[in-house]
Amino acid sequence: MLPQRFAKSFWHGWAWMEKRSTIKDVADLAGVSPSTVSVVLNGVDGARVAEDTRRRVTEAAERLGYEAHPLARGLRTRRSQTIGFVSDLVASTPYAGQMIQGAQDAAWRAGMLLLMVNTGRNLDLERHAIRTLLQRQVDGIIYASMFHSITRVPRLSPARPLVLLNGIPAAGMLPNVVPDEIAGGAAATTELLESGHRRIAYVAEWRDIPAVELRLRGYREALERHGAHFDPALVLREEPGAAGGYRGVSSLLDLPEPPTAVFCFTDSMAMGAYRAAAERGVRIPDDFSVVGFDDHPLIASSLAPGLTTVGLPHYEMGEWAVETLLELAEGTTAMTGRPLQMLMPCPLVRRDSVGPPSR
Amino acid sequence: MLPQRFAKSFWHGWAWMEKRSTIKDVADLAGVSPSTVSVVLNGVDGARVAEDTRRRVTEAAERLGYEAHPLARGLRTRRSQTIGFVSDLVASTPYAGQMIQGAQDAAWRAGMLLLMVNTGRNLDLERHAIRTLLQRQVDGIIYASMFHSITRVPRLSPARPLVLLNGIPAAGMLPNVVPDEIAGGAAATTELLESGHRRIAYVAEWRDIPAVELRLRGYREALERHGAHFDPALVLREEPGAAGGYRGVSSLLDLPEPPTAVFCFTDSMAMGAYRAAAERGVRIPDDFSVVGFDDHPLIASSLAPGLTTVGLPHYEMGEWAVETLLELAEGTTAMTGRPLQMLMPCPLVRRDSVGPPSR
């Protein structure tokens, strides 16, 4: 997984930090001039060096654990073995961190490092971050959003690729990956329909974010496919989180003819749904079924009964973004036929919150 | 907040990306040679330039939105206006992300950018990351852990400062900041003692991590200060998370003489405590009081009743780490008397899970 070039010098441990070999050391050992060493190791385009000389220089450099100064090399070759990762709040909030893990893992498989900046939505800082990363010759930039967003991207030098992670471009075309929210919403609803439910509510956030609308579309499509009636009174918009889920599901359960199941926009809202049910002596899943969205590690399996939910494929999205960026940097996407827009499937995760309707 | 030098060029928007002014443009406008421009803008040590010339160059550069190539400048000045932030899993897990926000905010106040690498505990990647960041001339490195850890740090070039964030060094001395776990454990226990409880349990994780022992010490100290008996039978070690809290508190509530209150090692464990209580018809806080630890945004205020808990000062720890690093880089810690080890206070956050004992 680790390219030879890195691995070699690590075998020498941290010695290189104490005393680094110089280009002169390598030249002496290989019996060539320092400028020949520079030409070979920095891969200067078009320079002609005999294969035998090239081999001697490479071997001498490896033996001495020598590496050309990467800042200097960056200036010449315009390659840095790094990818910039600019995010709004991905690293600082407890929602989509697995995008970072997926991206770093994919980068590392290619011997590359993810250099991240978390801007906290400070636009001055964001511009400065992108600029700094470009100046440091990152091979491209991944622009990541905490939640599925419509993204306005600062204009970039066209020579370096940019991939949107968890965002779709507000204008124009950019390679991007987002969760397949429609299919996810349909999967959640279908799980309830196939358990026999017909009066299924959808409780979402009141924020106008793409996922709310798209999951609603999936919900409606699933109802239609199963010949179930769409009742607008069963679609509620509430504040985000457990408090909103509690309020929404409380009001639904207090209807003269309450729904027998609810699809909650997030696991956090589902947590509130559990509380609303418990307060009324309504048992899950015996009397009422609940499906969430997120498969959040701190919530879904911590609830009792365990919450059936739809996972957000953050890890896979992070991987996809890096793999796509690397192909774009190499210019091979046309050859491989890689799609440049990706709706990542959201897997249904079955636990114990769905059962047949009691009425 | 933003240093003039950055702010100026932002006022010109993104124009610099299309067509950047050259050093020649600046030299022409200022009426000096390009090498004088270079000396002034790169702040070469010991170079003597008349104040008037210096001013003309600076003004010309500002007017043209010119900046010396930062890679080239990095080579000369060994300063990069960046801080390296190497973490195990801080950015990818839903626990301590606010350390990143605090660190980035403090860095930005000094006009600096945090360049982060999240290693996922891959040690090869970690070594490569530290090496890459040092080669790119970061002014220092913050080495951050997801939870309060005893940290083995790779050896670093002594010229660049390193600060441990959420870790204490396994050997030797390094500037570091960790939560004041003992005082936090004492605060949680004191809150229960002052509500009248005497039989108070402590349910912790079974992992051997510093926080488990240190909060236990705070718990014992608080009991002692209030003349309450320490009963080892009321200290349990369980698996992490809601499942462990559920098991631990279930067994406590089933004792012939159960405790009247519990201090849970995490909010997640407290979530399990709520479930154990609910299943037995034990009401919180009427029949049983609960205090957590974390003040986790997805849990503490989502539980019903809201969970009284002890906050982890992640944001403040991140700020402290950067401020200390910058003082170390400037060499001013001796002058300011800044302490180089910090136990950050953990605030008690009162909600509704603590009341007087019913028995």
Tokens of B65: 């939105």
pLDDT tens, A321-333?
999 999 999 888 8
Mean pLDDT of A138-154: 92
The number of folded domains in chain B is: 3
Of all residues in chain A, the one with the smallest CA distance to B244 is: A302
pLDDT tens, A224-253?
999 999 999 999 999 999 999 999 999 999
pLDDT surpassing 80 at residue A21: no
Of A76, A66, A3, A4, nearest in space to A29 by CA: A66
Q: How far is A179 from chain B (nearest CA, A)?
A: 18
Instruction: State the Cα–Cα distance between residues B322 and B341, nearest whole angstrom.
Output: 13
pLDDT tens, A152-178?
887 766 678 999 999 999 988 899 999
Beta strands B200-205; B235-238: pairing state:
parallel
Instruction: State the Cα–Cα distance between residues B228 and B221, nearest whole angstrom.
Output: 10
pLDDT tens, A281-294?
999 999 999 999 99
Of A2, A94, A136, the CB nearest to B71: A136
Give the pLDDT band of residue A258 (cuts 50, 70, 90): very high
Last residue of a domain, one of A41, A57, A77: A77
Q: How far is A230 from chain B (nearest CA, A)?
A: 30
| Domain interval for residue B152 | 82-178+315-343
State chain B's mean pLDDT as an integer. Answer: 87
pLDDT surpassing 80 at residue B119: yes
pLDDT value for A38: 75
pLDDT value for A77: 46
- DSSP secondary structure of A77-114: H---SEEEEEESSTTTSSSSTHHHHHHHHHHHHTT-EE
Of B74, B93, B304, the CB nearest to A71: B74
Instruction: State the Cα–Cα distance between residues A227 and A5, nearest whole angstrom.
Output: 61
Contact predicate B283/B277, CB 8 Å: yes
pLDDT surpassing 80 at residue B256: yes
pLDDT surpassing 90 at residue B80: no
B207 part of a folded domain: yes
Within 10 Å of residue B185's Cβ, how many Cβ atoms? Answer: 30
B348 part of a folded domain: no
Angle between the N-to-C axes of helices A123-135 and B70-77, in degrees from 0 to 180, rounded to the nearest 10? 80
B197 part of a folded domain: yes
Tell me the helices (H) and strands (E) count for chain B, helix number first.
14, 12
B214 and B238 both lie in a single domain: yes
Instruction: State the Cα–Cα distance between residues A319 and A328, nearest whole angstrom.
Output: 14
Q: CA-CA distances (angstroms) from residue A321 to A143, A147, A338, B87, B90?
A: 9, 15, 12, 21, 21
A213 and A296 both lie in a single domain: yes
Dihedral pair phi/psi, residue B157, rounded to 5°: -55, 125
pTM of the model: 0.79
User: What is the DSSP secondary structure assignment for residue B154, as one 8-state letter?
Assistant: P
State chain A's mean pLDDT as an integer. Answer: 87
Name which of A49-53, A124-128, B19-23 the model is least confident about: B19-23
Residues of B in contact with A78 (CB under 8 A): none
Distance of CA A13 to the CA centre of its chain: 33
B165 and B62 both lie in a single domain: no
Q: Check which CATH number belongs to the domain holding A29 and give it.
A: 1.10.260.40
A148-167 per-residue burial string, b: 16 or more CB within 10 A, e: under 16: bbebebbebeeebbbbbbbb
pLDDT value for A306: 98
pLDDT surpassing 80 at residue A4: no
pLDDT surpassing 50 at residue A71: no
Tokens of A271: 């947590």
A355 part of a folded domain: no
Q: Does B22 touch chain A (CB under 8 A)?
A: no
- DSSP H helices, B65-115, are 70-77, 98-109
Instruction: State the Cα–Cα distance between residues A134 and A2, nearest whole angstrom.
Output: 24
Per DSSP, the three-state class of B117 is strand
Q: Does B332 touch chain A (CB under 8 A)?
A: no
pLDDT tens, B153-211?
877 666 789 999 999 999 888 999 999 999 999 999 999 999 999 999 999 999 999 99
Per DSSP, the three-state class of B268 is helix
B56 and B126 both lie in a single domain: no
B65 part of a folded domain: yes
Give the pLDDT band of residue A80 (cuts 50, 70, 90): low
pLDDT tens, A336-347?
899 999 999 999
Within 10 Å of residue B49's Cβ, how many Cβ atoms? Answer: 14
Instruction: State the Cα–Cα distance between residues A246 and A277, nearest whole angstrom.
Output: 9
pLDDT value for A72: 45
CA dihedral for A274, A279, A285, A289, sign (positive or negative):
negative
Contact predicate A130/A138, CB 8 Å: no
Last residue of a domain, one of B77, B106, B126: B77
pLDDT surpassing 50 at residue A26: yes
User: What is the DSSP secondary structure assignment for residue B234, as one 8-state letter?
Assistant: G
Give the pLDDT band of residue B354 (cuts 50, 70, 90): very high
Position with higher pLDDT, A283 vs B26? A283
pLDDT value for B213: 97
Q: Does A115 touch chain B (CB under 8 A)?
A: yes
pLDDT value for B78: 43
Instruction: State the Cα–Cα distance between residues B66 and B58, nearest whole angstrom.
Output: 9
Q: Does B132 touch chain A (CB under 8 A)?
A: yes
A172 and A321 both lie in a single domain: yes
B169 part of a folded domain: yes
Q: ipTM > 0.95?
A: no
Mean pLDDT of B47-70: 73
Contact predicate A96/B115, CB 8 Å: no
A358 part of a folded domain: no
pLDDT surpassing 60 at residue A6: no
B189 and B305 both lie in a single domain: yes
Residues 6+ apart with CB under 8 A from B133: B84, B86, B115, B117, B141
Instruction: State the Cα–Cα distance between residues B37 and B39, nearest whole angstrom.
Output: 6
Q: Check which CATH number belongs to the domain holding B126 and give it.
A: 3.40.50.2300
Mean pLDDT of B48-56: 81
Per DSSP, the three-state class of B12 is coil
Give the pLDDT band of residue B51 (cuts 50, 70, 90): confident
Q: Do B92 and A98 touch (CB under 8 A)?
A: yes
pLDDT value for B198: 97
Contact predicate B187/B346, CB 8 Å: yes
B173 and B185 both lie in a single domain: no
Of B101, B124, B299, the CB nearest to A120: B101
A221 part of a folded domain: yes
User: What is the DSSP secondary structure assignment for residue A233, as one 8-state letter?
Assistant: G
- HSE-CB at B46 with a 13 A cutoff on CA atoms is 0
Q: Do A94 and B296 touch (CB under 8 A)?
A: yes
Q: How far is B72 from chain A (nearest CA, A)?
A: 8
Instruction: State the Cα–Cα distance between residues B319 and A203, nearest whole angstrom.
Output: 38
Per DSSP, the three-state class of A272 is helix
B204 and B287 both lie in a single domain: yes
Query: H or E element: which one contains A146?
Result: strand A141-151
B166 and B216 both lie in a single domain: no
A170 and A264 both lie in a single domain: no
Position with higher pLDDT, A148 vs A55? A148
Mind spelling out the 3-state secondary structure of B171-183?
A: CCCCCEEEECHHH
Specify which of A129-133, B255-259, B335-339 reaches the highest per-range mean pLDDT. B255-259
A248 and A173 both lie in a single domain: no
A52 and A120 both lie in a single domain: no
Q: Does A54 touch chain B (CB under 8 A)?
A: no
Q: Does B271 touch chain A (CB under 8 A)?
A: yes
pLDDT value for A14: 28
Residues 6+ apart with CB under 8 A from B343: B177, B178, B179, B180, B183
pLDDT value for A24: 82
Q: How far is B91 from chain A (nearest CA, A)?
A: 4
